[in-house]
Structure 1
Amino acid sequence: MTATDTAQVTPGDDAPPTRLTPRLKLVLVILLAAQFMLAVDFSILNVALPVIGEGLGFELSGLQWIATSFALCAAGFTLIFGRIADLFGRRRLFLGGLAVLGAASLLGGLATSPELLIMARVFQGLATAAVTPAGLSLLTTSFPQGPLREKALGLNGALMSAGFTTGAVLGGILTDLLSWRWAFFINVPVALLVLVAAVVVIKESRPDQRPKLDLPGAVSVTLGLLAVVFGLTQAGEHGWVSPAALLSLAAGVLLLLVFYAVEHKAKAPLVPIGVLSRRTVAWGNIAGLIAFLTETSLVFLMTLYLQEVLGFSPLAAGLSFGVLGIGTVVGGTIAPRVIGRLGTRATLILGGVVQSGATAALTGLGDDRSWMWLLLIGTLLGGIGNMLVIVGFMVTATTGLPDHEQGLATGLATMTQQVGITMGTPIMSAVATAAITGAGAAGVLGGLKVAIAVNAAIVLAGTLAATLFLRKPAPATTPAST
């Protein structure tokens, strides 16, 4: 740990803290509030898209760009911003990102044309790409490796997942009672409050020596991620064999291979190959990718089930996911204790088994509302299992790295999160669409059951991979925190 990093946690102390001090509690509240707000932004506009289209004159085919423009920037720029946070100051990037988020949200709420709204979503995505890894790296460097960090990451994961559910519910409430514009306006006072509190409470954290930014690596990985995410969104809209999807995905893979080659030769690589070769980093991020891909896409599948099969309204469908939100909060709360007792590897496996079993049970859903009990129980248990995996992934992927690489580690983890969220829906949408064999609710239900089964199989495959390749559990504590 560098002197700068130590100063932000316990100024003047030689040893890292072993309990939550009043200052650390304030730091935790501020960082968790920011992460929760960003998670809400991912889903708050989903229910409101048709209303926004009517209000601003979007073409039906252009509505998807309200979500796509955000996802492209949030996923494409997160890795480079994570590294910039390491090089130029995590607090500085965190504060700057919050300011941009507040301004972009105000612009979105006041937008009078599709162009202005898309511009606002682009800047919201860029702000998310900056604030998320900067906030996570401030979190991991503020809390010593071990129980305190695991507790902080558990709370962060729980609130982040609860934020996705809250966004769907809040978006429906605001749109029905006030206006879709409040889905943007609500961010402004929250961002301002967090920004002011962060200026007072959070101290700067950055390495003592500032290496040169790897520009070729930054350009190639950013363009590669943008191409992959764009290809995935095109696949979800036009199918996996559409030229736009295939060309974008191929270009993305090629650019990411170029990035890997560049990093081998760079003197100050954006992502040191040694970090990527760490088993905890590599397989921890794979587990996280599967966790985010499957659970967020399951919400999409269950939304279709509730509205297209059972005939629920958008608001009622959103409220039905409150049980899933409870499950994620419970999972995030108990995850640090489970990790402390079983270790991160066993926690990942346990969470994967619970999630895959709960998801597989949803293939038994029927075509009338008497089956709501199964949906509620399945999503509750699935949320708990998913959160065990997510917290285990975050602890695994950031353990054993020095503080000057925590921005990189959290940038990788954030990129994993954003890409998983982005790619899950188009994959499951394509599977469900291809499996629909007839018209009406019965045909839709048949396609959804196939997609749910595929979702459960992906979770199970990720669990088996963790079992096989994470043979040595990541160290849970350092000597200073035991």
Structure 2
Amino acid sequence: MTSDSATSQGKVPFTTRQWLIIALLCGAQFMLALDFSILSVALPVLGEDLGFQLSDLQWVVTAFALPSGGLLLLFGRAADLYGRRNWFIAGMVLFTVASLAGGLAPTPGFLLAARAAQGVAAAMLTPAAMSLLTTSFAEGSQRDRALGINGALLSLGFLSGVVLGGVVTDLTSWRVTLFISVPVGIVASIAAPILIKESRNEETPRLDLLGAVTVTGGLLSIIFGITSAERNGWASTTTLLSLGAGLVLLIAFFAVESRVTAPLVDLRVLRRRTVSWGNTTGLVTFAMMTGMVFLLTLYMQQVRGMSPLNAGFTFASLGVAAVLGGAFAARIIGRIGVHRALVYGLLLQAASTAALYFLDTEGGMPLLLVATATGGFGHLLAVVGYMITATSGLPDHEQGLATGLAYTGQQLGVTVGTPILATVAAAGIDSAGGSGPAAVLDGVQNGLLLAAGALLLAGLVAIAFLRPRQTVTAPDAGAGTGTGTPLADQQIAAR
């Protein structure tokens, strides 16, 4: 197909420079997702090597999750104000140095500090990379396809981290899992100023420091409370105080933002239905996917007796389907519209999660493979749909804020999913009277039903609150049909 024919059908091909920008920015997102999960399988070996107490191993993951989720809104706004490309490069350099330091860590405290620095860098990189991606491509078919590629690599990074962590640790050392990011970071730091033009707001008001302190403290407290609940329980003093403090700080944040002249978060943006409800659906799809992976890991290892490495490889069908979902998402959206793609993705993930309820203690591996694959495809369709919904219809100077909000919801989802479903599974195991395969299966089934219900509710929310009010044809947004994508699907937030 020639360039002219592709354009006439509404699908504008990427230039070589645009492909390189996609490789740089989406590759950075893949690396961040990979590093978030790659140490999960290696934790026992890592703990033995450095002398971690077993109960403290969770901090290897939590030290990354706390700053990466808590600082997203602040750093997303900072990227808007002070230059997205410069912020991206600074974050990439910090991430590279922190990864090298983590791989060389001689003590537990040194490793945790390096992981925290990685989390800070991730909070700098994520909104900067996403806002650079959305501002580098015009709203329509090109941006949809770029977001589809990004979504595929993002989920592939999370999923492949589990597999790659086991393989690399078995064949070499857990330290290599951290060294992997170093050459990638060096190349990206050099390529960014060559490929990407600087992007920032024309006017740079003073940063809203009070808003930054309250929202960052609130998010950090909420994330800490959620992650500590898995260890200490939801009724523990630590959990309740953390969640309570986070709630108070977030209420104070909204009070501050309604009164300052240059707020960190423009509350008018939060009132847009695509921003508020779109990010709600994104939070749910990420939370339930992360929680489902935890439940199935529990099922495969404690019910079916699989090794961690074999359990990781079993998720290959999920990873492949997720990549396909991201690859075909833009084409599907071009045919049926963003709203329907989001709804269908959520409902497909819900149905696939519900089907996993019928796993048993002996058979069911074909069901596991098929259901996780269809769920992964639906998840990626929902992810791309919600990212387009949450970032479209907004001017370029608000893209850093919009992507910061979107990824804050995503990080909260990744954080909250496992503790909630783990609590439900533990209650089911206790009620079944033991920790044998049958009791664990009961707990897993309870968690899967809750996940399916939450996804169904998210789909109903999308139907009720994100339905386009009118249909206007966007000439460039079709995907091979010439009919275009309903523009209202992408710009509903403007009304």
TM-score, scaled to structure 2: 0.92
Q: Give the superposition deviation at 1:200.
A: 1.5
Match of 2:165 in 1: 171
The equivalent residue for 2:349 is 355
Using the TM superposition, give the Cα deviation of residue 475 of structure 1 relative to its aligned residue in structure 2, in angstroms.
8.0
**C-alpha distance in structure 2 between counterparts of 1:476 and 1:132, whole Å:** 32
Match of 1:432 among 425, 431, 434: 425
| Structure 2 residue runs without a partner (length 5+) | 1-10, 478-483, 485-495
Map of 2:154 onto structure 1:
160
Instruction: Give the aligned partner of residue 457 of structure 2.
Output: 461
Check if 1:102 corresponds to 2:96: yes
8 Å CA contact 1:145–1:477 kept in 2: the answer is no
Checking the alignment, whether the CA contact within 8 Å between 2:141 and 2:476 is kept in structure 1 is no
Decide whether aligned partners of structure 1 residues 408 and 470 sit closer, same or farther in structure 2, where only a CA change above 3 A counts.
same
Which of 404, 409, 416 is the aligned partner of 2:409?
416
Q: Is the contact made by 1:307 and 1:317 (CA closer than 8 Å) also made in structure 2?
A: yes
CA-CA distance at 1:353 after TM superposition: 1.2
Mapped to 1, the partners of 2:285 and 2:379 lie a distance apart of 6
For 1:135 and 1:262, the matched residues in 2 are separated by 28
Task: Please report how far the alpha carbon of residue 473 of structure 1 lies from its aligned counterpart in structure 2 after TM superposition.
Answer: 6.4
Match of 1:151 in 2: 145
Asked if 1 retains the 8 angstrom alpha-carbon contact of 2:211 and 2:263, the reply is yes
Tell me if the contact between 2:292 and 2:451 (Cα under 8 Å) persists in the aligned partners.
Answer: yes
Find the aligned partners of 1:35 and 1:247 in 2 and give their Cα distance: 33
* Count of paired positions: 465
- CA root-mean-square deviation: 1.5
Partner of 1:10: none
**Structure-to-structure mapping, 1:332-347, within 5 angstroms:** 332-347=326-341
Is the aligned partner of 1:471 residue 2:467?
yes
The CA distance in 2 between the partners of 1:198 and 1:340, in whole Å, is 30
Could you tell me how far 1:391 is from its partner in structure 2? 0.3
- Partner residue of 1:396? 389
- The answer for the alignment partner of 2:130 in structure 1 is 136
2:269 to 268, 275, 278: 275
Distance 2:439 2:476 in 1: 59
The structural deviation recorded for 1:25 is 1.2
- Counterparts of 2:465 and 2:280 in 1: how far apart (Å)? 11
Give the 5 Å matches for 1:50-69. Answer: 50-69=44-63
1:91 to 85, 105, 121: 85
CA distance in 2 between counterparts of 1:252 and 1:21 reads 45
Verify the 8 A CA contact 1:36 1:160 in the aligned structure 2.
yes
Question: Structure 1 residues 98 and 473 mapped into 2: Cα distance closer, same or farther (>3 Å)?
Answer: farther
How much has 1:18 moved relative to structure 2? 4.5
Q: Which residue is 1:182 aligned to? A: 176
Q: Which residue of 2 aligns with 1:313?
A: 307
- Find the counterpart in structure 1 of residue 35 from structure 2: 41
User: Separation in 1 of the partners of 2:306 and 2:469?
Assistant: 44
| 8 Å CA contact 1:343, 1:473 repeated in 2 | no
Contact 1:399 1:474 (8 Å CA) reproduced: no
Equivalent residue, structure 2, for 1:441: 437
Deviation of 1:199 (Å): 2.3
Report deviation, 1:330: 1.1
Distance 1:476 1:381, change over 3 A: farther
Note if 1:291 corresponds to 2:274.
no
Superposition pairs of residues 188-203 of structure 1, within 5 angstroms: 188-203=182-197
Contact 1:352 1:459 in 2 (8 A): yes
Q: Sequence identity, in percent?
A: 53
Indicate the residue corresponding to 1:381 in structure 2.
374
Deviations 1:292-317 (A, max 9, x none): 00001111111111111111111111
Runs of 4 or more off by more than 6 Å in structure 1? 473-482
Instruction: Say whether 1:405 aligns with 2:398.
Output: yes
Residue by residue, what CA displacement relative to the aligned partner does 1:226-276 show, whole Å, maximum 9, x if unpaired? 000000011111211111111111111111111111110010011101100
Contact 1:146 1:477 in 2 (8 A): no
Deviation per residue, 1:209-234 (Å, 9 max, x gap): 11221111111000000000000011
Q: 1:225 and 1:443 mapped to 2: Cα distance?
A: 35
Relative to structure 1, the CA distance from residue 133 to residue 50 in structure 2 (aligned partners, 3 Å threshold; closer, same or farther) is same
Task: Give the one of 204, 208, 217 matched to 1:210.
Answer: 204
The CA deviation at 1:474 is 9.3
Q: Distance in 2 between matches of 1:480 and 1:153?
A: 16
Structure 1 contact 78–415 (Cα < 8 Å) conserved: yes
**Are the equivalent residues in 2 in contact too, given 1:352–1:385 (CA < 8 A)?**
yes
**1:335-371 C-alpha deviation (Å, 9 max, x unpaired):** 1112111111111110111111000000000112x31
2:46 aligns to what SS in structure 1? helix
Q: Is the CA contact 1:145–1:476 (under 8 Å) kept in the aligned structure 2?
A: no
Deviation of the 1:19 alpha carbon: 3.5
Describe the superposition over 1:136-179 as per-residue Cα deviations: whole angstroms up to 9, x where unpaired: 00000000111100000011001100111110011001110000
Per-residue deviation, 1:471: 2.1
Distance 1:170 1:474 in 2: 46
Question: What letter matches 1:459 in structure 2?
Answer: L
* 1:21 matched to 2:15: yes
